[in-house]
Amino acid sequence: MTDHPDLVRRSAARLAADLAARDVSAVEVVRAHLDRMDAVDGAVHAYLHRDDEGALATAREVDAARARGEALHPLAGVPVAVKDVACTVGQPTTAGSKMLEGWMPPYDATVVERLRAAGLPILGKTNMDEFAMGSSTEHSAYGVTRNPWDLTRVPGGSGGGSSAVLASFQAPLAVGSDTGGSIRQPAAVTGTVGTKPTYGGVSRYGVIALASSLDQIGPCARTVLDTALLHEVLAGHDPRDSTSIDAPVPPVVQAARRADVAGLRIGVVGGRDATGYQPGVLARFTEALDRLEAAGATVVDVACPHFDYAVAAYYLILPSEASSNLARYDAMRYGLRVDPSRGGASSAEQVMAASREAGFGDEVKRRIILGTYALSAGYVDAYYGQAQRVRTLVAHDFAAAFEQVDVLVSPTTPTTAYPIGEKVDDPLAMYRLDVTTIPANLAGVPGLSVPVGLADEDGLPVGLQVLAPAMADDRLYTVAAALERDLVDAWGAPLLDRAPEVSTSPVPTPTRQEA
């Protein structure tokens, strides 16, 4: 055990300052987190893979470099967890799928390269819905991750592993990916912070694709400033990603420190009393609006009429792209290989079919079939084509809204975390919960979720989503940081201090009814 039992509860910014002041070593920080993982991850199941040795090795290098007086990145030595969707040399990368069980990538994703270059020890790879398809981690091939606030509930998804790691103090920083809300929604239901940057703001190179035109990699943390600090490490132009934006990274850290909404015009999208939203979610949301107004912002309602069609369009575009992106998992070069004849007499086609049948879970198969259908001759215009037109209209709605306001806000999710197993057999119900987060992915604009309190009826965290125009990611941080400061002042402590201590005994999982 370490001499600093509270190290795991410190923010990344605080750890960075302590490391710089040599109050603590990077090795001590990493060891504290490894100890915490030993203590709680049996119950939470947020990590799919731990890299104790790799993290300690990085920490030792950082400590040695600091001892030599070398110039270090401000976050050097602050540990990070990476969603299992990003390729990491030396650690398996599975995207939560049996198809890639044990696959060792021969290369690092650009974001992983950047973490290594900045000296952040990578603690391990976090759980996720298979190929990021899902909103609960229940679709992981390796078992569900539990919400640290209530172990019988989901931690959100697909990046539930990253959000749970933060909420259970198993890492101060985590990398996520967000195709329709997979960073923001888990952040909201675990009382943490997460940002989906502007599309093209962070390189996707080396991150296993779900839907290429929607996927975006982003930072997750427990505070707005920490999120901004990680954002700055991850972001920036990458010539290996054709869709990467070649422009300076928005000044996100500066914005998080400024935390000033005076004079800012804030638009409420979707109304303040939308049907289908949990009362406790709406109550915390409207209180947050009042606080923003009190802090000097102007809050107005804004209409985005085409957002109503966003979920339908999204669930055509995503499966279409995914059906093509996932075609490469065919057992010919890597990954799971099933030979149906067992004697080697099968044709390549038979091996492909048997391997895909065995390697993909139900939700992945469902979306591959949907996407294949939506792209088929005779249907492509009615489905994929029509969805693309809706996408354009959603983008126009955003453009019109940002003529009137500087940022848009909404509840991040309609409800708080739901019980494990409740929606797993009702995909449409699960899809509909993405209604608030999906429009940002369709339009490529940035979004962030910040905790705004607990719902009265269940005592679970509620998140507020901030959306900004493309490449104005800094606005997310100034709004969220202002709100966070105001709320933490009012609460007297960070929201996560109110989370129950995670029981260290594993909890039985309600088993899913197989179809």
Partner 1 sequence: MPVTDDVLDLTEVLASYDPVIGLEVHVELSTATKMFCGCATTFGAAPNTQTCPVCLGLPGALPVANAAAVDAAIRIGLALNCSIAQRCRFARKNYFYPDMTKNFQTSQYDEPIAFDGHLDVEVPTGDGGSFTYRVEIERAHMEEDAGKSTHVTTGGGSSRIVGADHSLLDYNRAGTPLVEIVTRPLVGAGEHAPAVARAYVGALRDIVRALDVSDARMEQGSLRCDANVSLRPRAGEDRRGPEQLAVPLGTRTETKNVNSLRSVERAVVYEMTRQGAVLGSGAAVTQETRHWHEDSGTTSAGRPKSDADDYRYFPEPDLVPVAPSAERVEKLRATLPEPPDRRRRRLQGEWGLSDLELRDVVGSGALDLIDASVAAGASPAGARKWWMGEVLRRANAQARELGEMGLTPEHVAELDALVGAGRLNDSMARQVLDGVLAGEGTPEQVADDRGLALVSDDGALTDAVDRVIAANEAVAAKVRGGKVAAAGALIGQVMKEMKGQADAAKVRALILERLGVAG
Catalytic residues: 83, 158, 182
Task: Tell me if 414 sits within 8 A of 281, measured CB to CB.
Answer: yes
From 7, 13, 189, 208, residue interacting with partner 1 (rule: CB under 8 A): 208
- CB-wise, 240 or 389, nearer to partner 1? 240
Residue 298: CB atoms within 10 A of its CB come to: 14
Task: State the Cα angle at 514 between 509 and 515, rounded to 5°.
Answer: 150
* Min dist. Cβ of residue 198 to partner 1 (A): 15
- CB-wise, 220 or 352, nearer to partner 1? 352
Residue 221 to residues 151, 213, 227, 279, 506, Cα–Cα distance (Å): 20, 25, 5, 27, 25
CA dihedral 121, 127, 130, 135 (to 10 degrees): -120
Q: Name residue 26's amino acid.
A: A
* Min dist. Cβ of residue 237 to partner 1 (A): 12
* Min dist. Cβ of residue 389 to partner 1 (A): 14
Residue 87 within binding range of partner 1, rule CB under 8 A = yes
* Min dist. Cβ of residue 207 to partner 1 (A): 5
Binding map of partner 1 across residues 91-120, x = CB under 8 A, - = no contact: --x-x----x--x-xxx-x-----------
**Which residues share a beta bridge with 268?**
301, 409
DSSP state, residue 451: E
Residue 55 within binding range of partner 1, rule CB under 8 A = no
Task: Tell me if 103 sits within 8 A of 234, measured CB to CB.
Answer: no
From 212, 341, 404, 504, residue interacting with partner 1 (rule: CB under 8 A): 212
Residue 434 within binding range of partner 1, rule CB under 8 A = no
Task: Quote the strand ranges of 277-318, DSSP E.
Answer: 298-302
Structure tokens at 115: 């973490």
Residue 389 within binding range of partner 1, rule CB under 8 A = no
**Closest by Cα among 28, 34, 126 to 77:** 28
Q: Which stretch, 113-121, 208-216, 250-258, 448-456, contacts partner 1 (CB under 8 A)?
A: 208-216
- CB-wise, 334 or 491, nearer to partner 1? 334
Burial of 498 (0-12, 13-18, 19+ CB in 10 A): middle
Task: Tell me if 407 sits within 8 A of 467, measured CB to CB.
Answer: yes
Residue 392 within binding range of partner 1, rule CB under 8 A = no
Residues 320-379 touching partner 1, rule: CB under 8 A, are 320-321, 323-324, 327-330, 332-334, 348-349, 352, 372, 375-377
- CB-wise, 64 or 332, nearer to partner 1? 332
- CB-wise, 184 or 204, nearer to partner 1? 204
Q: Which stretch, 117-125, 229-237, 301-309, 316-324, contacts partner 1 (CB under 8 A)?
A: 316-324
Residue with tokens 């991040």: 412
- CB-wise, 27 or 86, nearer to partner 1? 86
- CB-wise, 88 or 478, nearer to partner 1? 88
Residue 263 within binding range of partner 1, rule CB under 8 A = no
Q: How far apart are CA 66 and CA 74, in angstroms?
A: 11
Q: Is 39 left (phi over 0), alpha (psi -120 to 50) or beta?
A: alpha
* Min dist. Cβ of residue 355 to partner 1 (A): 12
How do 265-269 and 298-302 pair as beta strands? parallel
Per CB under 8 A, residues contacting partner 1 are 86-87, 93, 95, 100, 103, 105-107, 109, 204-209, 211-213, 239-243, 320-321, 323-324, 327-330, 332-334, 348-349, 352, 372, 375-377, 380, 384
